[in-house]
Chains A and B, each alone.
Chain A
């Protein structure tokens, strides 16, 4: 009986995974379709990759998005690290509940709400202080807000798991609190920092709704260009671009995962060696 139900749920698991992956595999397949029509297979061809690399609009938007993602994800993990340390290490401080709420709310807040409210703030700020003008700066600030939420949650759970006694030992040996944290705890939470940087980078690179609101008329990010092309109908070079993004990110994540696992195992071995 139990076996039977286990198999049912396992079958659904496999179907669910197929549901998640088939569209992406189909997208990759279409990117090598020689015919510009999606319903016809025109033989294997890499021509859309060629078209893609000659599309100035896509290349420029891609470069802008990469720059934004680099700055935003770096800002997000710095802010996320400070927020996570505050929430894990300081049990009581005024504004703790507020901070907890503010790092969790962006995870569920519809992007359309965050986007319009932040735009209205930026517009009002320009009226009052003459800064920030819409474009790169405003997109980066908005991305830092929602990426830092993901970063905080990831770093927080890792920090809770980190052994504090090592840091205290370093303190007893005369290290300053900052030095003890940097030399002992920071390496321990490095995997969380790395994975939240990667996640923030991807989320920033992918964001369409918030960017559309807070960017000025001069700045078009990659997702904004993709969206407008997709909206107009089938465009085969988007299949090629999608394939590149999905494969790069996919391999990046898997490699990062393997690297972290290896690191973790090495660390456990080191601990065992030290204890012997």
Chain B
């Protein structure tokens, strides 16, 4: 919306020659995506922020207006900080907030530990094999996320394949309780987000200058030392990009903890969902959303910084 005046002024200039006409064409291309995303992606955050200061009300939509029009033409604004205060009085928000950070953190570490060697192996393969391996890694992401989480559930549940195989092999005497534990949630996140970790890692590892490794080998450095001294530090941009691509969405994850986790595995996304769909408390849900955004501001800024730097190169 803020861009509209510019658009107007360009139209006014457009009759003075070819240059301006060209500039107008430019704005015909830039304006639609910019305006669409501002209106439907950016502005919504302002509305959520606004409604987090409203009060619950029994009408449609279920919250009060912040601005009251008095009969004498004056405007009154009532901000309700109660929703935020409420988040601090009830323990459940704080606990789920911490639990979300913990879960996203461990799942990201798990993804990194599994994804790094995988990306490393792909980067070391021949060009033709690389393409096939990358397709294999990306393919699950192109199918269905929801169905994959469901498929994972059918393996790890009590009467599922994993327990049956382990019982049959005699490794365990009783079925393992994996479902409805934190481990199941970690596993679900790692399973769903693994491709997001591997792709940026592969991109940096592939660009790695192999002459550096050869030089260090020539100088008698053992491979593990070369790895720690050269490969690992040079792949840090990939590690950060991949970790952010897993960590940020994992914080707000709803489907995985709700299908694989138990009542104790209360992540903040589930709390928001319940607040919204079960309690119909839209203002508190908005306040929770704002708190999640504050938590994610740092990681998102970090991710954007690396992204912009990468694109400008």
Contact = CB atoms under 8 A, between A and B. Distances in A.
Contacts of B117: 8-9, 12-13, 16
Nearest to A28: B151
A24 B151 contact: yes
A6 B120 CA distance: 8
Interface stretch (A42-50, A238-246, A266-274): A238-246
Given A6-B121, A90-B30, A206-B144, A120 B150 contact: no
Contacts of A218: none
A169 interface: no
Interface residues of A, number: 94
Contacts of B73: none
Contacts of A234: 154
B145 A206 contact: yes
Nearest to A106: B41
B252 A111 contact: yes
A96 to B, nearest CB: 8
B239 interface: no
B30 A99 contact: yes
A98 B114 contact: no
Contact of A30 (B3, B40, B154, B282): B154
Contact of B245 (A38, A108, A124): A108
The DSSP consensus for interface residues of chain B is helix
Given A27-B150, A110-B249, A113-B293, A99 B308 contact: no
Contacts of B26: 90, 93
Interface stretch (B85-93, B135-143, B176-184): B135-143
A236 B73 CA distance: 62
Interface string A115-128: 01110110110010
Contacts of A121: 40, 43-44, 47
B252 A145 contact: no
Interface string B120-138: 1110100000000101110
B36 A79 contact: yes
A113 B146 contact: no
Contacts of B155: 22-23, 26
Interface in B186-212: 191, 194
The DSSP consensus for interface residues of chain A is helix
Contacts of B47: 117, 120-121, 124
Contacts of A5: 223-224, 227
A242 B34 contact: no
Contacts, number: 257
Interface in A3-24: 5-6, 8-10, 12-13, 16-17, 19-24
B29 A103 contact: no
B112 interface: no
Contacts of B6: 94
A254 B300 CA distance: 33
A87 B34 CA distance: 11
Given A20-B191, A39-B164, A105 B304 contact: yes
A230 interface: yes
Contacts of A175: none
B151 A113 contact: no
A182 interface: no
Contacts of B303: 104, 108
Contacts of B140: 20-21, 24
Contacts of A102: 34, 37-38, 41-42
Nearest to A102: B37
B25 interface: yes
A182 B238 CA distance: 35
A38 B164 CA distance: 11
B40 A145 contact: yes
Interface of B: 3, 6, 22, 25-26, 29-30, 32-34, 36-38, 40-45, 47-48, 51, 61, 114-115, 117-118, 120-122, 124, 133, 135-137, 139-140, 142-148, 150-155, 157, 159-161, 164, 191, 194, 217, 222-224, 227, 244-245, 248-249, 251-255, 258-259, 269, 272-273, 276-277, 282, 285-286, 289, 292-293, 296, 300, 303-304, 307-308, 311
Nearest 10 Cβ contacts at the A-B interface: A110-B252, A39-B159, A117-B44, A83-B33, A23-B151, A27-B151, A13-B121, A121-B44, A12-B117, A9-B117
5 contacts: A9-B117, A9-B118, A90-B26, A97-B308, A110-B249
Interface of A: 1-2, 5-6, 8-10, 12-13, 16-17, 19-24, 26-27, 30, 37-39, 79-80, 82-83, 85-87, 90, 93-95, 97-114, 116-118, 120-121, 123-124, 127, 141-142, 144-145, 148, 152, 156, 177-178, 198-199, 202, 205-206, 208-209, 212-213, 223, 226-227, 230-231, 234, 238-239, 242, 245-246, 249-250, 253-254, 257
